[in-house]
A and B are shown apart, each in its own frame.
Chain A
Amino acid sequence: TQLLEQSPQFLSIQEGENLTVYCNSSSVFSSLQWYRQEPGEGPVLLVTVVTGGEVKKLKRLTFQFGDARKDSSLHITAAQPGDTGLYLCAGATRSGGGADGLTFGKGTHLIIQP
């Protein structure tokens, strides 16, 4: 069973601060995806990282895939109240045509206070 551990589980910070969310596993993933989920809604894909060491930027969000493709991080610069939500990382595995659903972490509940 592949597990993805996210930390921290809960984070409440002031507007303008920086933060980093971590996603770790002992398993190797072919890709890692980050989603943001608002209350009562489905997750929305933010980014997919595929190559070990890859860094992708989405405005104030920076995503990194570990060199060994076992971990990933999400860094938010100058957080804003609109960044509030549940951030989920999800790992995809190589599949020989069988079930290939994503393995999700439990998520990080982020609250940005004005």
Chain B
Amino acid sequence: DAMVIQNPRYQVTQFGKPVTLSCSQTLNHNVMYWYQQKSSQAPKLLFHYYDKDFNNEADTPDNFQSRRPNTSFCFLDIRSPGLGDTAMYLCATSSGSGLMRANYGYTFGSGTRLTVV
């Protein structure tokens, strides 16, 4: 089945130790998103790729970076994780362009639960 797969499902990292989360998709969607969801909060958009074009949200900390080497894969790099970065990280994809892309809805992966200790 076509889907969005995130690895690992659970990750524990030490304060300040770089960590990379991965996302792969078999949907051939041109847009990939990274969201951060803290406990009992709404998912918050960090950034997204439209094809190879990177779009960063204004309030995303510089500590968070992303790479998209090809259509299928997207990575979230946290250079120096802090305790406040403990959260669920969700990858999502969508297709289409402009308004229609938003209206199609997103396909989410199962998320990576990151704990910084």
Binding site for B on A (CB under 8 A): 4, 30-31, 33, 35, 40-45, 48, 50, 88, 92-95, 97-102, 104-107
Complex Cα spacing A101 to B34, Å = 10
| A104 touching B99, Cβ below 8 Å | no
Q: How many A-B residue pairs have CB under 8 A?
A: 71
| A41-B111 contact in complex given A30-B99, A93-B102, A95-B99, C-beta closer than 8 Å | yes
Which residues of chain A have C-beta atoms less than 8 A from B111's C-beta?
40-42
B side interface size, CB within 8 A: 30
| A102-B102 contact in complex given A42-B90, A43-B43, A88-B42, C-beta closer than 8 Å | yes
| B108 touching A42, Cβ below 8 Å | yes
Complex Cα spacing A104 to B55, Å = 18
| A106 touching B57, Cβ below 8 Å | no
Which residues of chain A have C-beta atoms less than 8 A from B44's C-beta?
104
Task: Pick the residue among A40, A41, A88, A100 that contacts B102 (CB under 8 A).
Answer: A100
